[in-house]
Structure formats: C-alpha cells, structure tokens
Homo-oligomer: A and B are copies of this chain.
Amino acid sequence: MPRPTKHAPERGNARIRLLEAARDIIRAKGFAATSVDDLCKAADVTKGAFFHHFASKEALGVAAADFWAETTSAFFEAAPYHGPTDPLARLLAYVAFRKAIIQGEIAEFTCLVGTLAQETYASAPDIRDACARSIFGHTATLETDIEAARQSRGITADWTAASLARHTQTVIQGAFVLAKAASDPALARESLDHLDRYIRHLFHPAEEDAA
C-alpha cells in the first residue's frame, strides 16, 4: 500500500498539470485574462503549489511556451507526413497534415505560442522570446526539405528555404486569426489550400498540377 494518505491527488505532477492547464486555458482566454487561480482550479492544485513550481505568473508563461515547444516538436516528429521519400512530397504532406488537424474546437487546434507572443511581445520579452524559439525552431525542421526540393528541381528563384519555411508559419498563424474572428475553422483550411497551391507553383512553375 504505497499511498495510504487521505486523498492525495497524485503528488509530483502538479507542475505538468499546471502546464497543461495553461496550454488549454491560455489558448481560450489569453494570457492576461487567465488568472493564477484559474490555473490552480483547472489543475486541481493550490496556490502554494503554483508558486512552488513557478516564481511568478510570467515564469509560468515562459515554462508554458517551452512546454509547448517540447510537446509539439515530439508530436510533429511522430506525425505521418515524414513518409514520402521525395522532399517536396514531404513538404506538401506537411501542409496537408496541418490542414487535417484543423478540426473541432478552435482552442484545441490553434497555437499557444502564436497568441502568447502576440499578447506579450512588448510587455514580457522573456515570454516572447520563448515563443519565438518555439515558432522558429519549428520552421527550422522544414528548411532541409525545402532546400533539398529546391536543389532537386533546380529552382533558382529569389527566395530562400528559410523564408518559405517562415511563410508557412505566417499562413498558419494568420489562418488561426481569421478562424477565430469568424468562429469558423473552414477559413483556416482555405488558406492552407492557397499555401499548398503556392508551393506547387513554386516548384512546378509551368504545368498545372494534378495531385
């Protein structure tokens, strides 16, 4: 009987439960509108536990962005879009995958670090920088495929792999903004279709594509 205590709500994982609560609540309400008490209630921990694990609310923001970076990079590494052997096919599979996971509640498919960066860019530089690390760390995972596709197709146009990788995130982040404004995930998927078409155009400038 290793846990004979009265009601003990699983000691030792309060930190992770707080980070998960932050991930979910901040995406729905924003950082400033999310109170420490909100997070404690959702994570079923006390305020003492919160300030034991995080020096301040701002420190939690940084940790939440880092946590997002870790979990999403693991998620994308395990995602099926790495299947194709051709780098361009992988890139297009990535875009298709990003489109496919835009489903259900808006707060469930949108990006924590995008909203967090937008809200804190001027008032909390350390949170902003953690968000930037997450976003641009993710774009970096696309660059090698883009560069390989560029070279295999002999593309010499005046854009770089890094800039196209960033542009995919631009479209994804913007798609979330429009979806939120209209309360309609379809608007986000629509822009990913344009992104898909753009990428195909970049690599097949002449012919019309047939998936």
Contact = CB atoms under 8 A, between A and B. Distances in A.
Contacts of A176: 118
Contact of A166 (B114, B167, B178, B206): B178
B187 A178 contact: no
The residue among A106, A166, A174 with the most chain B CB atoms within 10 A of its own CB is A174
Nearest to A160: B190
A76 B159 CA distance: 29
A198 B194 contact: yes
A202 B187 CA distance: 20
A198 B197 CA distance: 9
B32 A159 contact: no
Given A33-B123, A167-B190, A135 B178 contact: yes
Interface in A20-65: 28-33
Nearest to A128: B181
A117 interface: yes
A136 B182 contact: yes
A132 interface: yes
A152 interface: no
B181 A170 contact: no
B194 A163 contact: yes
Contacts of A80: none
A171 interface: yes
Nearest to A199: B198
17 contacts: A30-B120, A117-B181, A118-B181, A132-B181, A135-B181, A159-B193, A166-B190, A167-B190, A167-B191, A170-B171, A170-B177, A173-B173, A173-B177, A194-B198, A197-B202, A201-B202, A205-B208
